[in-house]
Structure 1
Amino acid sequence: MEPAEAAAVADLDWEDWSGEGNFVHHMLAGSIAGVTEHTVMFPVDTLKTHIQCMRECPERQAGSRVLEMVRGQGMLRLWRGVGTMFVGCVPAHAAYFSILELCKERFGANGGGHAPVAAAAAGVFATVFHDAVMTPMDVIKQRLQLGYYRGIGDCVRTIARAEGVGALYRSFPTTLFMNIPYGAIMVAANESLKTALRPRGDHTTATYMLAGCGAGAVAAAATTPLDVVKTMLQTQAIHAHATRYAAAAAAPHVAAPAAAAAPIFAGTALASSGLLRRACAAPAGATVALMPAVFHSNAAARCIQGCGEKPEVKLQYRGFVDAAREIRAVQGWSGLFRGVVPRLMVHAPSVAISWTTYETAKRWLQDT
């Protein structure tokens, strides 16, 4: 990035807003766009999260996983965790679109014609502010999508007790590493496609939809491996405890009624693995161990013997490079592209919905 551009961002003064339209209008339109986008596409994002976290044959299991969740808990199961989007999207998208518009103006992306470098630079700055707000919400969202915890509050309290508050930002460097190129590619492609479709600048709803769809597809495909690594980093503690449960279930030293686990783990990756079904089908008198309530209870983060000590959480990956290396070693190069189809299905229409809603809301607010 040119020094002049960096200096321009350092000197941002919101009171001297000179971008297109009203600053408050950009914030409101961005908030509406974010909530609309994530709510509509949330079921597909839930499917993508499950596929990326599956250990074996994710593509074959994807359809049956969705059907199992819907049959067991209804259609609303696909929207489990959507509340995080309402909490996080409003401030995150308000910051994203307002900063994006300001940077586009300062960097010269609104001067007419193709300006992909200026548009990409604006996308980078907007992405950093967006991700600082959304990363903790994304961690909570993905764990709720997998079926763990009773809700947002339970998830936050349990993570804080068992893993520390820092766990909410464990994937932040990876998220930035993924979303900075995604944001740069997406904004540059979106601006260029709009210009190519309507060189005179007389954009229509169809223009926003087509440009957004193309930009979202290109950016999503290019950053899928980074998204896989991010998802595994954000959910690895769950897999660590699932492994503990599997080991404890085979040991006779802790007795607990297996049936009690069924409602807690219904619809989770653990239940779908078959482990819970086998435990619940154990003959009368057999002893099995419940996974520590670390995922589900406000009184969690105690060892299974009830001694009050926190269970040790041994994370599988040390960081981005270690996670990427292990995923490739165990699953091959294709493992880094798990979920690419649902990711495209999420991001192509998501960007189209988001930008179309944003531009429509912005125009409506400016006309009122």
Structure 2
Amino acid sequence: MTEQEYDYESLGENTAMIHNALAGALAGIAEHCAMYPVDSIKTRMQVIQTSTTTMQPTLTLNGNANSFKNLWRGVNSVVLGAGPAHALHFATYEFCKDFYVAHGQGHHVLASAAAGATATLAHDTLMNPFDVIKQRMQLRDSTYRSVRECARTVFAKEGWVAFYISLPTTLAMSVPFQSVQFATYEYFRKVLNPSGGYDPSTHVVAGGLAGAIASSVTTPLDVIKTLLQTRGQSQDARIRQATGFMEAATIIKERYGLRGFFRGFKPRVLTHMPSAAISWSVYEYFKWLMRSSYGQDQPAALLL
């Protein structure tokens, strides 16, 4: 397919921002829901008070028939938050790609990274409270039966600060994570598909590689974030009183040494690699699908 037949990358300029937002919302929901059980395992492995050190004990939980079902606790919080947060994320990203001139021929790694970082600031500010609720419900000993109950209880006991105490750490993790992910995705996408046309296999491979690389280098920050977001459920008084990044990092270092910052490394990578592949594939597909609604004929095979 030639560029004249299908100017795919012109979508960011020729479609309304609402289309990028809708594609992003659908991509975010698909990404988080598909790998949610593995994300629950990662959270439980990272929480300091748990004795879980491998994936198998976490999967068996209490040995009952509902063990796998319990790994889905809190998924409603992700659905509620991921839709609008990812809509804002991808809409901001597309706008910033144009603003930072990340489109066009050649590799624009820094511009793509800057666009990803800017989009992350908007996304995480909106998503952080939902992420706190999600992680509280993911805990092995969680007794919350609904997102509403969890949010109300956390607010009553800890106030608004509980929903945002981890935001600085979240941004410290997410900005480099998304910068690396967006930059590596755009790089691999252009290497694998120089023409820039819609190609599902390219989006899957580039997205998977981007997710694996980004999650690998930011795992230590994710461990710190998890401690801060779940501190209210801890039986350890020192953890409950942790007030920020440095104190949380000190606790982890004292208890587990440098290895402590890589708790949950494998399930984190196993979560983000397919999640990123799913997210980018869904996002790029709906970008292409919405553009086709503008009346430009596309080969029917691409709809399969």
Change beyond 3 A, Cα 1:169–1:364: same
2:23 paired with 1:23: no
1:320 and 2:245 aligned? yes
The 3-state SS of whatever aligns with 2:13 is coil
CA RMSD of aligned residues (A): 1.9
Residues 321-340 of structure 1 correspond to what in structure 2 (within 5 A)? 321-340=246-265
1:207 is the counterpart of 2:202: yes
Aligned residue type for 1:212 = G
How far is 1:317 from its partner?
A: 1.7
Residue 314 of structure 1 deviates from its aligned partner by 7.7
> Secondary structure of the residue that 1:59 maps to in structure 2?
coil
Rg (Cα) greater in structure: 1
Matched, 1:223 2:218: yes
Q: Hey, what does 2:171 align to over in structure 1?
A: 176
Displacement of 1:342 after TM fit?
0.3
Aligned-pair distance for 1:64?
1.7
Q: Please give the alpha-carbon distance, in whole angstroms, between the structure 2 residues aligned to 1:208 and 1:219.
A: 16
CA contact (8 A) 2:113 2:180 kept: yes
Find the aligned partners of 1:353 and 1:314 in 2 and give their Cα distance: 35
Q: 2:70 aligns with which of 65, 77, 81?
A: 77
1:51 is the counterpart of 2:45 = yes
Instruction: Provide the identity percentage.
Output: 41
Equivalent of 2:186 in 191, 202, 205: 191
User: Once the 2 structures are TM-superposed, how far is the Cα of residue 150 of structure 1 from its aligned partner?
Assistant: 2.2
Instruction: Kindly state the Cα deviation for residue 367 of structure 1 after the two structures are TM-superposed.
Output: 1.5
Q: 1:19: Cα distance to partner? A: 2.9
1:41·1:346 contact (CA, 8 Å) conserved in 2? yes
Equivalent residue for 1:345, pick from 270, 278, 281: 270
The residue correspondences of 1:287-306 to structure 2 (distance < 5 A) are none
Conserved? CA contact 2:198–2:288, under 8 Å: no
On the 8 A contact 1:20/1:105 being kept in 2, the answer is: no
1:134 aligns with 2:116: no
Check conservation: 2:169, 2:245, Cα contact below 8 A. Answer: yes
TM-aligned CA deviation for residue 202 of structure 1: 2.8
2:279 maps to what in 1?
354
Please list the CA deviations of residues 39-69 of structure 1 after superposition, one character each: whole Å capped at 9, or x if unmatched: 1110000000000014466334x31221125
Q: What residue identity is the alignment partner of 2:223?
A: V
- Alignment partner, residue 150 of structure 1: 145
Instruction: Structure 2: state its 5+ residue gaps.
Output: 1-10, 294-304
Contact 1:208 1:356 in 2 (8 A): yes
2:24–2:91: 8 Å Cα contact kept in structure 1? yes
The 3-state SS of whatever aligns with 1:227 is helix
TM-score by length of 2: 0.88
Secondary structure of 2:282's match? helix
Q: Is the 8 A contact 2:215 2:268 kept in 1?
A: yes
Whole-Å separation in 1 of the counterparts to 2:251 and 2:36: 29
Q: After superposing the two structures, state which structure 1 stretch, 67-76 or 49-58, moved more.
A: 67-76
Matched length: 281
CA distance in 1, matches of 2:16, 2:53: 46
Does structure 2 conserve the Cα–Cα contact (< 8 Å) formed by 1:22 and 1:366? no
The residue identity in structure 1 corresponding to 2:102 is A
Number of the residue aligned with 1:167: 162
Q: CA deviation at 1:187?
A: 0.4
Query: How far is the alpha carbon of 1:200 from its aligned partner?
Result: 2.2
Aligned equivalents of 1:314, 1:348: Cα separation in 2:
30
Per mean C-alpha deviation after superposition, the further-off stretch among 169-178 and 66-75 is 66-75
TM-score (norm 1): 0.73
Q: Which of 19, 24, 30 in structure 2 is aligned with 1:36? A: 30
Offset at residue 226 of structure 1 (A): 0.2
What does residue 79 of structure 2 align with?
A: 86
Counterpart amino acid of 1:152?
A: V
| Cα distance change of structure 1 residues 92 and 70 upon mapping to structure 2, 3 Å threshold | farther
Q: CA deviation at 1:74?
A: 4.7
Change (3 A) 1:69 1:116: farther
Contact 2:52 2:58 in 1 (8 A): no
Partner amino acid, structure 2, of 1:101: E
CA distance in 2, matches of 1:178, 1:118: 19
Q: Is the alpha carbon distance of 1:165 and 1:110 closer, same or farther for their aligned partners in structure 2, counting shifts above 3 Å?
A: same
2:104 corresponds, among 87, 104, 111, to: 111
Mark the CA change 1:21 to 1:89 in structure 2 (over 3 Å): closer, same or farther: same
Counterpart amino acid of 2:39?
D
Contact 2:96-2:115 at 8 Å conserved across structures: yes
Residue pair 1:97, 1:126 contacting (<8 A) in 2 also: yes
Separation in structure 1 between the aligned mates of residue 212 and residue 276 of structure 2, nearest angstrom:
9
* Structure 1 residue 92, shift from structure 2 partner: 0.3
